[in-house]
Every structure is written in structure tokens, then in C-alpha cells.
Amino acid sequence: MSAKVENVVIVGTGCAGLTAAIYTGRANLQPLVLEGVLPGGQLTTTSEVENFPGFPEGIDGYQLMQNLRKQAEKFGTRYESGSVQGLDTSKWPYTLKLADREILAKTVIVATGASPRLTGVPGEKELYGGKGVTTCATCDGAFYRKMDVAVIGGGDSAAEEALFLTRFASKVYLVHRRDSLRASKIMADRATSHPKIECVWDSLPVAIEGVAAGAVSGLKIRHVKTGAESVLPVKGIFVAIGHVPNTEPFKGAVDTDDQGYFVPTGHSQVKTRTPGVYVAGDCADHHYRQAITAAGMGCQAAIEAERWLAGQEA
Ligand code: NAP
């Protein structure tokens, strides 16, 4: 008996992957979606999403992803868990290699997103996850009720994390390496004017203290202009300094740039040099990185996959 060949395998269940699933599902292609370690992607770790069109009151990030998942399911999407370790495009149908199995696919949409970047300073690795260092205020903020915490970063994520943490923490230090936030004006204004948030400008993290005790006791920072070092006495540290694209398993099959992002081919945002292999969302976008742009790329990738497949079968 010959092995089953999938029409479309979508790798990733963030906004890009699930939108691709809705479109390929509606096109009757019975897409198979592979779920990795963070089902629903980055939006499941965010609180309120205020800028996704169609939700004038905003929508909870987890709820939005549940809605997309249900919508894709309605059109015949199947879900399997499994992290892809490699993609062999040397012969068609292509082979996705997972730890415990291989999947044959006529087309592949890679929508693997990006993971939070860490600072790499001493103490961070030792105290990460449950010991005071985290990348997710929505997940861990409630553990820091009436405590002082620090957020590292100056983008929208850092502003959002800091604002969310004001619900629990006594004080939130927002530690940024420059003297103004990169965040959008609305988020920056909200953060800088919040009475519980103290911006610590021109400062870089040097070390996280508390390793011997097994819990964060402070964040050592250095002023970038004076070189002066000081310690912020915090119990929680939220790192929000951007993301690293999850593209490693596909290198070789899909081109990447020097930061690891997928590089599309020609004028397309989603086509790769391999016919039938498409990319979508934050793994291929270091410019916009919005939920709605990821969804848009998922839609484009799905339409390209559908048309290419129709061409093969004509
Ligand atoms: P980002 O915009 O790339 O910002 C990363 C921040 O971390 C920058 O301020 C950067 O400093 C700082 N940084 C980078 N490496 C550092 C290091 N090693 N040590 C200390 N600081 C470091 O990333 P993001 O905030 O995660 O946002 C990513 C995208 O998602 C953006 O397009 C953003 O608009 C979007 N987003 C939107 C919303 C929303 O609309 N509500 C919410 C979250 C994210 P510099 O400023 O000096 O470069």
C-alpha cells in the first residue's frame, strides 16, 4: 500500500497557519495542520488584542485563536501535534520529517512564527521559567502581586507587558537601552504616563541576581552613557526584546537571511524557490509582524498553494 500523500501540510497554528487552513479548507483540500510546542502561537500569550479588524471592543488573544481554529475545523482542517525537524524537497511529493514519523505533502505552508529572544546575561538561563525570569506577562504576571518587577525592552511588547503587569505588581521598571521607546505612540504614551511604571532609560541588563537562592532578587543594569552600574530590587523580570524566527528545521529547503528569516522569491511575499513550498507570518516577516499581516500572508500562501496544485493536476 502506498503512503498517504497530503494535499497541503501547514506547519504552525498561529494567525498565519490557521488562516491558511481556513482558505485551503474552504478550497476542499482537507489541509493537515501540524501543531508545535505553542498551539495558537504568540497571540495566546497576549492579553487583549485591540487592533485586529472586526472586534471594536478588542478580543482576548487566546479567544481569537480558538475562533480561528474552530473556523478552520469547520472547513475540514485536521490537526496533529508534532514538531517538524526537517523538510526534504529533493523529490515531489515533499517529505516532512518529524521525530516519530514522516509525512508526504504535495504542498507545504511553513508558518512557524517566532520565539521570544533572551538577553543572554548571566543568571537569565538559571532563573528562567518559574524562578523569576519569563517572557510572558499574561502567563506569569499574577505571580507577582504586590511585588516590584522589571520589563526589559522598548517595543510594543515591552510596553504591553509593562501595562499588563500594573494590574498585579506594586511597581514596574521599564528598562530600555535608549532614551525613548520604539513602541507605537499610543502604547508608549500609555506606558510612560502610567503611575506604576518607572522608565529606566539608557540602561542595559548586565546580570540577573539570585542564582544561589534559586529565585530572582534583582536586575543589575549598566547606564550606557556613564557606565554606572546599579541593581533594581525586583522579584520578577519580563524579557521583551523581540523575537527569533523559528526557521531552523527548514534551512536548506527554504532560503533564510542573516537574521534567520525566510526570504521569499520574486515579487511574492510567500513563494519560495521551491515550487509548492510557501512561507507565511512572523517566520518570514521582520518588518510588520502584526496578527493581521500574518493572517494576510496565510491567505496569500493558501491561494498560491491551491493554484499551484490545480496546475499540477490539470
Ligand atoms: P521590537 O519592536 O523588535 O522591539 C524590541 C525591543 O527590544 C527594542 O526596543 C530593542 O531596542 C530592544 N532590544 C533588542 N535587543 C536587545 C538587547 N539585547 N538588550 C536590550 N534591549 C534589546 O519587538 P516587539 O516589541 O516584540 O514587537 C515586535 C512586533 O510586534 C512589532 O512590529 C510590534 O509593533 C508588534 N507588536 C504589536 C503590538 C500591538 O500592536 N499591540 C503588541 C506587541 C507587539 P531598540 O529600540 O534600541 O532597538
**pLDDT on residue 313:** 78
Whole-number Å distance, alpha carbon 157 to ligand 1 midpoint, is 6
* Catalytic residue selected from 136, 202, 255, 299: 136
- In the structure grid, which three cell numbers stand for residue 198, read together? 518607572
Q: Over the stretch 88-97, which tens digit does the pLDDT of each residue have? A: 999 999 999 9
**pLDDT on residue 2:** 67
Whole-number Å distance, alpha carbon 158 to ligand 1 midpoint, is 7
Instruction: Identify whether residues 249 and 175 lie together within a single domain.
Output: no
Q: Among 196, 212, 239, where does a domain finish?
A: 239
Instruction: Identify whether residues 111 and 188 lie together within a single domain.
Output: no
Interatomic CA distance for residues 33 and 290, integer angstroms? 21
Q: Over the stretch 203-218, which tens digit does the pLDDT of each residue have? A: 999 999 999 999 999 9
Instruction: Identify whether residues 94 and 12 lie together within a single domain.
Output: yes
Q: Catalytic annotation on 88?
A: no
Ligand 1 pocket list (CB less than 6 A)? 51, 119, 152-158, 160, 177-178, 182, 204, 240-243, 289
Instruction: Identify whether residues 51 and 84 lie together within a single domain.
Output: yes
**CA nearest neighbour of 150 among 168, 165, 129:** 165
Instruction: Identify whether residues 16 and 103 lie together within a single domain.
Output: yes
Instruction: Identify whether residues 263 and 196 lie together within a single domain.
Output: no
The model's pTM:
0.82
Whole-number Å distance, alpha carbon 117 to ligand 1 midpoint, is 10
Q: Over the stretch 185-202, which tens digit does the pLDDT of each residue have? A: 999 999 999 999 999 999
Instruction: Identify whether residues 63 and 163 lie together within a single domain.
Output: no
Instruction: Identify whether residues 107 and 248 lie together within a single domain.
Output: yes
**pLDDT on residue 287:** 86
Give residue 217's domain range.
118-239
CATH code of residue 228: 3.50.50.60
Instruction: Identify whether residues 101 and 190 lie together within a single domain.
Output: no
Mean pLDDT of the chain: 95
Q: Catalytic annotation on 15?
A: no
Q: Catalytic annotation on 199?
A: no
Instruction: Identify whether residues 143 and 214 lie together within a single domain.
Output: yes
Q: Among 214, 239, 264, where does a domain finish?
A: 239
Interatomic CA distance for residues 89 and 84, integer angstroms? 14
Low-confidence ranges of the chain (pLDDT < 50): none
**pLDDT on residue 129:** 80
Interatomic CA distance for residues 167 and 159, integer angstroms? 14
- How many of the other CB atoms lie within 10 Å of CB of 154? 25
Instruction: Identify whether residues 127 and 233 lie together within a single domain.
Output: yes
Whole-number Å distance, alpha carbon 238 to ligand 1 midpoint, is 13
Instruction: Identify whether residues 77 and 168 lie together within a single domain.
Output: no
- Who contacts 3 (Cβ-Cβ below 8 Å, separation ≥6)? 104
Total domain count for the chain?
2
**pLDDT on residue 130:** 82
Q: Among 186, 205, 239, where does a domain finish?
A: 239
Please identify, by atom number, the ligand 1 atom nearest to the C-alpha of residue 117: 15
